[in-house]
Structure 1
């Protein structure tokens, strides 16, 4: 996958200070963002609930370890867990991390947790937050449920007055990079040798979506998710790229 970022095209408008230096403009009528509340985010196919290790842990342990190849763990910081107790212990510690808000992603039809995702590195004072810790079960991948989950998280980000939402992934994780671009994020940069994970070098691919971009992205996502876009078997009539292109 070829990802190219044009720094000149991405740079925001500048003004000049008293000594003639270009500096960033003041945020337009921005008064700060709010911390993500522990609210249920309800959609047609997916419901997001504040992640609880005791309540959601067993469902997540089963579905996230269902793929015998363990390929879904390759790009995560964690390896598969040997036991439910070890998994729930890790979940409990992850939930307590600073500037982090984890959700369980619930399949409305079955009532079962089928994945997890989080707001990370939340900085309300700067209006910046990251969507990360995304881990879908095999049943969630490439589904309306997964797209709606990300739509609900993005919608809340910008309703809470954030100016910027980030998406980062291992640069070798092509499926995560494709997901970011599909959802309307813009590729910004590659952080080379950002971390060592599982004994391997990890370059980080970084994407963002800004507040003024969200209205068009929201409309495209809502049109894709609308029931009229799916046939009786649940197959999409038009892909999300079609609606993104229409919104410009």
Structure 2
């Protein structure tokens, strides 16, 4: 199972939100590159980055910080938040991002998302953020009427290869992840798309349980910053 330590960026700093609430934000570091370097030293190969400002505003205010991480480490970086046009997709590709993660636009402009998947293939993933079975967009501030199953079915039909799925109710709460959600998704869609689990992963037990059901990748955020999980231990445990 691939392990993606996470860096969430707000105003150039490394932060974590509680259940997606921007009013419940903790700043963990002022230098994102330094955090990324620490992750690499612990053995990380991959890094999940979210531009929280971009997720709301639809632009890339933390682009320079992402570029510094890509240029300053050997990490394979996926980046989400504010991916609203092809220029941004290309800009991130040009600085060496592993892939971009389309979120809001997958709901608001399915044609754009389909076109990006066709043109950029595996370099485009989609983030599906879930609130009570419905897809949330715009930095989790807007819950739509689209169900999880509708979203997954549509994306698979369009040829997406990777979906990052977050249970917002679990994110940052340190209460464990939604194993049953991922079990259902893997059983129904795992033969068509790689599903990356995100939200609430706070123990080795959480990781063991999602690994056992066949989840190919996991994003770990707050548990690393609080010390609940040791990244080096996690990577050693789940290395191929």
TM-score between the two structures when normalised by the length of structure 1 = 0.27
| Greater RCO structure (CA 8 Å; 6+ sep) | 2
More helix by share: 2
TM-score by length of structure 2 reads 0.28
